[in-house]
Each structure stands twice: as C-alpha cells, then as structure tokens.
Copies of this chain bind each other. A is one copy, B any other.
C-alpha cells in the first residue's frame, strides 16, 4: 500500500471534475427541456423540434435549404425531412424549389407560420428567463462566453 496520499495526478482530478460537470449539465438541460416541452404542448399544442424549426426559419425570411437547417439545428438530414413534412401539412411552412438547382429545396415560413412563431416566442423567452432565474446576469455572461469559446474549439477541427 504505497499509494501516494494526496498525489492523485492533477490531470485525473481535473478529469473527474469535468465528468461531474458534464453530468450536471446534462441533468440541467434535461430538466429545462422537459419543462419547455410540456409548456409548449399544453400552451400551444406543439413540440420542441417544431418550435426549433420555426425559430430557425423565422430568422431567415428568404428561407433555408434542408441541409442548412439540419446543420444549424445539429440534427440529421432525415430528421428534418419529417419535421418539415408535418409543418408543411399544418400550413406553417412552405417547401419551394431553388432556381438553377433542382436538387435543392428552399424552406420558408408561411404567414401563418410566422404568426405562430411570434405568438410563442415571447412566452418562450419568458419561460427561459424563469427557468434560469437562478443564474445572475454576470454569471450568464461569463458562462455564455465560456461556451462560445468551447464551441469555437469544436468547429475548427475539420
């Protein structure tokens, strides 16, 4: 038994700390997401993925390609197809063709879709504000910056 007493390798300690952090992030995210899902359903009869798509499209009145959408939302191509299909069926989204490239489609909100999103956006922001109430503005700013750099490290890889 000659294991060093407090000599747990520094890197090992940091590793445990990161694992702990990850598990907590995961829990927090799931709690918030599940609350949002529930409120979106009971309040507006819609789902989180649908809201995400509407939200993405709202920022682009000119529309986005399916692939842009899937890249932006970080979900698979096939996934977006299904969600957009349902939104189209509900009249909230329009699938158009791009001139000069018959492969690509351009997806954009209908007026009804834009109105639907506007009706939800305020409530959504307010819910987030409420659910993250425990995080002060300074903390939010710091955390946000950290996550931004974290993301940058990420996207530089390919």
Contacts and interface: CB of A to CB of B under 8 A. Distances in A.
Interface of A: 10, 13-22, 24-34, 74, 125-126, 128-129, 132-137, 139-141, 143-144, 146-151, 153-154
7 closest Cβ contacts across the A-B interface?
A: A24-B147, A14-B137, A15-B129, A18-B132, A17-B140, A30-B74, A21-B144
Contacts of A141: 17
Q: How many copies does the complex hold?
A: 2
Q: Which of A17, A139, A153 has the most CB of B within 10 A?
A: A17
A79 B31 CA distance: 16
8 contacts: A14-B136, A15-B126, A17-B141, A18-B135, A19-B129, A21-B135, A34-B74, A134-B150
A28 B132 contact: no
Contact of A132 (B21, B31, B32, B74): B21
Contacts of A128: 15, 18-19, 22
A27 B74 contact: yes
Contacts of A18: 128-129, 132, 135, 137, 140
A117 to B, nearest CB: 15
Nearest to A17: B140
Contact of A140 (B10, B21, B29): B21
Contacts of A144: 17, 20-21, 24
A25 to B, nearest CB: 6
A136 B132 CA distance: 23
A121 B16 CA distance: 12
